[in-house]
Amino acid sequence: MDDTNIGMKSYEFIFLFNKTSGSPRVQYFMVDPWTKTRIFPKCNSIVFNKLTHLVGFRPVVLDGCLYIIGGKDWESGQYRAQTWRYDPATSRWSGRASMLEARCRHTADVLNGCIYVTGGEIHGGGVTDLCESYDPVLNSWTAINCLPRPRADHAACVNDGSLYVSGGISNLKHQCSNVFWVYDAVANEWDEPIQGIILPHEREKHNMVSVGKYIYVVSGRGFDQETWSEKDESAICCFNTRSKGETRKDTCWDVYHPNVFNPRANAGVILLGQQLYFIGGKSFQKDCDVRTVECYNVKRRKLREAFTLPEGYSYVNVDCVKLSVPVSNTDITFNDLLLYDKWIMW
pLDDT value of position 165: 98
Give the count of beta carbons closer than 10 Å to the beta carbon of residue 210. Answer: 18
Q: Which of 105-109, 189-193, 227-231 is the least confident region? A: 227-231
pLDDT over 50 at 3, yes or no = no
Please tell me the distance from the alpha carbon of residue 317 to that of residue 205, in angstroms, as a whole number.
9
Q: How many Å apart are CA 320 and CA 88, to the nearest integer?
A: 16
Q: Is pLDDT larger for residue 213 or for residue 228?
A: 213
Q: Label residue 149 by pLDDT band (50, 70, 90).
A: very high
285 vs 263: CA distance, rounded Å: 9
pLDDT, one tens digit per residue, over 121-135 is: 999 999 999 999 999
Q: Which of 58-62, 154-158, 170-174, 197-201 has the lowest mean pLDDT?
A: 170-174
> Taking CA 341 as the corner, what is the angle to CA 337 and CA 342, rounded to the nearest 5 degrees?
95
Mean pLDDT of the chain: 93
pLDDT class of 343 with cuts at 50, 70, 90: low
At 22-55, the pLDDT tens digits run 999 999 999 999 999 999 999 999 999 999 999 9
What separation in angstroms does the CA of 258 have from each of 42, 179, 234, 295?
Answer: 28, 23, 9, 12
For residue 5, pLDDT over 50 is answered with: no
| Sheet strands (E) in 212-331 | 214-218, 221-224, 229-232, 237-240, 253-254, 268-272, 275-279, 282-283, 288-289, 292-297, 302-308, 318-326
Q: What is the pLDDT of residue 174?
A: 75
Q: Given a cut of 90, is residue 61 above it in pLDDT?
A: yes
Residue 2: per-residue pLDDT? 47
Percentage of residues in the chain having pLDDT higher than 90: 88
Q: Look at residue 63 in the predicted model and tell me its pLDDT.
A: 98
Q: Look at residue 47 in the predicted model and tell me its pLDDT.
A: 97
For residue 68, how many C-alpha atoms fall within 13 Å in the half-sphere facing its CB?
27
**How many other C-beta atoms can be found within 10 angstroms of the C-beta atom of residue 168?**
30
Query: Can you tell me the distance from the alpha carbon of 206 to that of 181, in angstroms, rounded to the nearest whole number?
Result: 15
Can you give the pLDDT at residue 257? 98
Residue 223's pLDDT is what? 82
Please tell me the distance from the alpha carbon of residue 48 to that of residue 99, in angstroms, as a whole number: 21
Do 58 and 70 form a contact (C-beta atoms < 8 A)? yes
Q: Which residues pair with 203 in a beta bridge?
A: 177
* Residue 249 confidence (pLDDT): 62
Which pTM was predicted?
Answer: 0.94
What is the band of 225 on the pLDDT scale with cuts at 50, 70, 90? confident
- pLDDT, average across residues 86-101: 98
- Measured between alpha carbons, how far is 127 from 56 in angstroms, rounded to an integer? 13
Confidence of residue 226 (pLDDT cuts 50, 70, 90): confident
Determine phi and psi for 207, rounding to 5 degrees.
-135, 150
Residue 341: enclosing H or E segment and its boundaries?
helix 340-343
Domains of the chain from N-terminus onward: 2-343 (2.120.10.80)
Summarize pLDDT for 104-114 with one digit per residue, the tens: 999 999 999 99
Query: What percent of the chain has pLDDT above 70?
Result: 94
User: Nearest 5 degrees, angle CA 267-CA 165-CA 209?
Assistant: 50
Is-contact 237 254, C-beta < 8 A?
A: yes
Element (H or E) spanning 250, and its range?
helix 249-252
User: Is there a contact between 237 and 201 (Cβ–Cβ < 8 Å)?
Assistant: yes
Give the pLDDT of residue 250: 65
